[in-house]
Amino acid sequence: MSQTKTKGPSASEPEASEPSASEPEASEPDASEPSASGPSASGPRSGNITFHEGEVQARARRRAHGHAGAAIWLTGLSGSGKSTVARRLERRLIEQGVFATVLDGDNMRHGLCADLGFSAEDRRENIRRVGEVVRLFVDAGAIVITAFISPYRADRERLRAAMAPGSLIEVHINTPLEVCEARDPKGLYRKARAGQIKDFTGLDAPYEAPLHPELTLDTSRLGLEEASSQILAYLHEAGLLGRGDEGEGARGR
């Protein structure tokens, strides 16, 4: 698995399960601490609802949890190793006492996104829904790790723009297509090559690689422990792990 640090401190294609303190602040919201779960950029259909701000700010949550809330967005082809890296990273964070969880593409399509297919429109809606869940977790102070192909750059950038600066860490799992296809843990590439699955990302549907991810990892060159260690190192360097007694947030982009 090789690693490049680019920033400092239709039929059915599953998303891929790869191998592989003080008192709370006053109730007045602090404009310097944008809420990750504020009103959605798309806005509600009804004009008769009002977004209700809570009394607990990000600094108080950080003191309570011992770290900042953040999203680690793993994106890459099916079979690239996203889910495997995500689960190992989750385990290592939990072992360190971090409030962490994984949102996995296949798992989300068994529930919240069970009504969606794999058309371009459904893929966008899938990521929009997941993005809203991610924002809620980050606002609650969790480190949420996502494992989604998320093929469209615009969808990923839209989520980043909706979140507080520095709270989304995009990790491109840049494993070569030929390696992903050779792994083929669920036989999806074989089915796609045989014409049994249409619009398969990387073959007959596009994958738009990130232009400026925080990290780039190749799981054909990096072992699982090393890949998760690279992400952990970034979290430490970015100041996301630790109580942040001065009230600092994550670094901006």
| Catalytically active residues, by annotation | 150
Residues 6+ apart with CB under 8 A from 59: 25, 33, 244, 247
Structure tokens at 145: 């790790």
- CB-CB neighbours of 51 under 10 Å: 10
Contact 16, 147 (CB under 8 A): yes
Could you give the CA distance from residue 208 to residue 84 in angstroms, rounded to a whole number?
Answer: 21
Could you give the CA distance from residue 220 to residue 42 in angstroms, rounded to a whole number?
Answer: 38
Could you give the CA distance from residue 253 to residue 249 in angstroms, rounded to a whole number?
Answer: 12
Could you give the CA distance from residue 166 to residue 164 in angstroms, rounded to a whole number?
Answer: 6
Could you give the CA distance from residue 217 to residue 226 in angstroms, rounded to a whole number?
Answer: 10
Could you give the CA distance from residue 14 to residue 176 in angstroms, rounded to a whole number?
Answer: 19
Give CA torsion, residues 241, 71, 142, 105, to 10 deg: -140
Q: Collapse the DSSP code of 172 into the 3-class scheme (helix H, G, I; strand E, B; otherwise coil) and give the result.
A: strand
**Cα 225 off chain centre by:** 19
| Pick from 119, 126, 121: nearest CA to 150 | 126
